[in-house]
Structures are given as structure tokens and as C-alpha cells.
Amino acid sequence: MSTVLQLKDNREQHYARLSPEGSLIPNQKWLACMLASWCEGQGVLPDYLGLESEQFTALTACFFPGIALPERAPSGSVLDYSRMLEKEDLINLLKQYSKADTPETTWMIAIIVAGCLGSDHLWQDLGLWQRSQLSAMLHYNFPKLAAKNTKDMKWKKFLYKQLCEAEGITLCRAPSCEVCIDYPNCFGAEE
């Protein structure tokens, strides 16, 4: 069996363990995908998924009670937040547009911000299995923010573009995205 198929099979086994019979609430479903990938060393999420240890304990007790999960990133991923000067700005942007001020939302924000430190597409850095899961997760947790992405801009680029616009910074070389030579890098399929 190829390594890719083995990882996929292991990831699906972790997911099955994390998603017992019955319907999962939306964030639980996405977190199960992220944790299944994380347990296989995929994605960039560090120890505790980028949460504080107490938050990780609360998250796992809330969504995955009785399931033993590692606290340390099996990939060994360590994120350097010192290179992320915009961390607080991203947190504030997501908080501003969150549909609820709950511990669950706080957890999702911290995980998304940790994923933004990766160098791949955000859905891959988070350990989600497809971009559509990230889109659904953002629409569920931050509906007004996600609704602003009317042209299907890649999510990480979109979030950073929102930060730039809030500061009045324009980095684009063209007057509109449609005529920019980087259009294919910002919009379109990520699969």
C-alpha cells in the first residue's frame, strides 16, 4: 500500500474514532477532520492545536469526551508567533465577525490563526480534507465575513486582504483583481 493511501486510511480511522454514531454539530465535524489529520502529522497545527493547554482540555472534553488524544503535535510542528505581527489583528478580525462570543468560537479563532502561519493553503494547513470544509466552517462561524468573499478568493489571502483594507493598505498592482496578472494565484481551485 502506498504511503499516501496508508495516511488516508489512518486519518479515516482516527475520524471514525472521533465521530461516534449520530450527527455531529458542525464545528465538531470539522475539528474531527483536523484532529484526524493532526494525529497523522498532517497540517501545521502545533501542540494543543494552537490553543492554550486549558483550552485544548476544554475543547476535547466538550467535543470528544473519553477519547484519548495527544496534546503534543505528532508532526513536531512548532509555530513561531514572533514572525506573525498581525496575530492580534487576525484575532480581532475574526472576533468582530463571529456569530457568537463563546468558548467554542474562541477555540476556532485560535486554531484558524495558528493555521495562518503555515505556508500552504489554509484548509491544508488546518488539516481539513478539502477546501469546501474550510468554506463551510468560515460561513458557519463568521457568516458576515465569509459572505464578503464574493469572488471565491483563497481564504488565507482573503483574510490578509481584509486586514490590509482595514489599515487602508493597497498592495495590489492592478486597479481590479480581474486584470491582475496574479489573479490565478488568488482565486480559483485549491484542490
Please name the residues in contact with 154: beta carbons below 8 A apart, sequence gap of 6 or more. Answer: 121, 122, 186, 187, 188, 190
Compute the distance between CA of residue 164 and CA of residue 156 in angstroms, rounded to an integer.
13
**What one-character-per-residue DSSP string does 73-118 give?**
-TT-----GGG-TTHHHHHHHHHHH-S--SHHHHHHHHHHHHHTTS
pLDDT along the chain (191 residues), means of 10: 56 88 84 96 94 96 92 86 83 95 96 93 96 97 96 92 78 49 58 59
Contact indicator for 141, 98 with CB cutoff of 8 Å: yes
Q: Tell me, what's the pLDDT at 1?
A: 43
- Assign residue 48 a region: left if phi > 0, alpha if psi is -120 to 50, beta otherwise? left
Rg of the chain's alpha carbons, rounded to an integer? 17
Query: Which residue reads 491544508 in cell numbers?
Result: 124
Compute the distance between CA of residue 24 and CA of residue 133 in angstroms, rounded to an integer.
14
Q: pLDDT digit string (tens) for 131-182?
A: 999 999 999 999 999 999 998 899 999 999 999 887 766 665 534 455 455 5
Whole-prediction pTM: 0.85
Q: Tell me, what's the pLDDT at 4?
A: 46
